Every structure is written in structure tokens, then in C-alpha cells.
Amino acid sequence: EVQLVESGGGLVQPGGSLRLSCAASGFTFSHYWMHWVRQAPGKGLVWVSHINSDGSDTTYADSVKGRFTISRDNAKNMLYLQMNSLRAEDTAVYYCTDPFADVDFWGQGTLVTVSS
């Protein structure tokens, strides 16, 4: 069974940092590009970042460029998102996924709340 489990969310003060993790199972993780997508409370889906299958190429939305870093460990089937200099507008549920994979997979999401 294909499964993605995000973790690492929580309450953090503006300017703080968090590291999100996504544990993958049930598929050959190392073959897939991976993305982080977020959804602010009551709002739509927004793409955040992508990493290619071997981790050699990454891209970011302008809103997080320079603050967030995506990475992966294919030996552990893990995807990460290091989030620094967090702002109130980063408050959202963060999902790991590959929207254009040959099969559909999304995690349950992890909530990040940036507030003092």
C-alpha cells in the first residue's frame, strides 16, 4: 500500500524554524520527483517546492525561496522541508506528494502555525 506520512508541524514564533518530514512506503521512492504543497486555513492549494529523484535539482516558489530547503534521503525513503525565518503567512497544512506520478499519493498533511 502506497503511504506518505508527514510530521514535524507545530506552533512556532515568527522568525523561527521547523523541519518537516515525509516518510514514504509502498512504492519505489527513489524513482519519483517529490513536491511539497501547502494549504492555508480555508484557502486553496499552493505549490511550495520540488526535488528530483536523486536530489540533484530543486525548485521553490518565490514566496519561500531563500528561506525553505527541500531535501531527501532515498536510503531512508524520507523527504524533508527545512523552514527558516517563518512568517505568519506560512501558516498552513503542508502535504508531500508527486502530483504527476503514475499513481496518486498524498499524505495526511502536517499543520504549521506561525504565531506569537
Q: Which three cell numbers stand for residue 12?
A: 512556532
61 binds other proteins (CB under 8 A): yes
d(CA 112, CA 48): 14
Per CB under 8 A, 60 contacts other proteins:
yes
**In this structure, what C-alpha cell is assigned to residue 113?**
502555525
Q: Does 1 bind other proteins (CB under 8 A)?
A: no
Q: Interaction with other proteins in 31-50: which residues (CB under 8 A)? A: 35, 37, 44-47, 50
Per the rule left: phi > 0, alpha: psi between -120 and 50, beta: everything else, 74 is alpha
Residues of this chain that interact with other proteins (CB under 8 A) are: 35, 37, 44-47, 50, 59-62, 95, 97, 99-100, 103-104, 106-109
